[in-house]
Amino acid sequence: MALANIAINVASVGSNFPSSIDKLKNSSTKAQINLRSSSVESDTGRWVRKRRPQNVDGDFFVDHTCIDCGTCRWMAPQVFTRVGEMSAVYKQPTSSEDRLKAFQALLSCPTSSIRTEVPPSNILEAQKTFPIPVDEKKLPGVYHCGYHSEKSYGAASYLIIHPGGNILIDSPRFTKKLAKEIETMGGVRYLFLTHKDDVADHAKWATQFTCDRILHSKYVSFIILNL
């Protein structure tokens, strides 16, 4: 399938949306190193995930594969905090609202570093909440897609509902469940890629919705080489 894109000069265009990539702008290489060096081999020869000791006791925890992107900390600040250059659970969620936010953060974690001691029974309900309205009063029609991708170091992706065609800002991790929810909201007409580091699963989303990809002209060759 040929690459559909519109190469435009967007160097002067900024973004008012919060993005977890901001946490890593000064150290994206460090994040990759942390991820690679954090794997631990068990006696059986399998790679296992270890619960960080910085977590409080309880069901939710962050394991040692965290890349410090900060996604969980701004999605559920009442549960997660930063300790030792990684995230950790500092307070277990007790209310249904806090548990939902913790599950949303779990699903959005780009490295699946958030875990529960007991298999969650209501994870499907959390999946159905995406995309999440950013602020229905101040920013109607703007949604946080969740499902951050390790390929873009945890950057956030947003869906803008527009009468001329919905716009997907940067690429979330591709999942059929998220694609189905976005389809019910009118699909995607344009996929706006703000930076080459945030393209993630752009090709899969473009195929799913047959949408045009919009990006800075200097990134076109990079996108083509990484299809």
For the chain, the domains span 21-36+47-127, 130-225
Measure the CA–CA gap between 126 and 105, rounded to whole angstroms.
Answer: 10
Q: Does 3.30.70.20 match the CATH number of domain 21-36+47-127?
A: yes
The CATH number given to 130-225 is 3.60.15.10
- Burial (CB < 10 A; 0-12, 13-18, 19+), residue 176, is exposed
> Which residues in the chain come in under a pLDDT of 50?
1-17, 19-45
* Topology agreement, domain 21-36+47-127 and domain 130-225: no
CA atoms within 13 A of residue 85's CA, in its CB half-sphere: 10
pLDDT of residue 201: 87
pLDDT of residue 42: 46
pLDDT of residue 224: 57
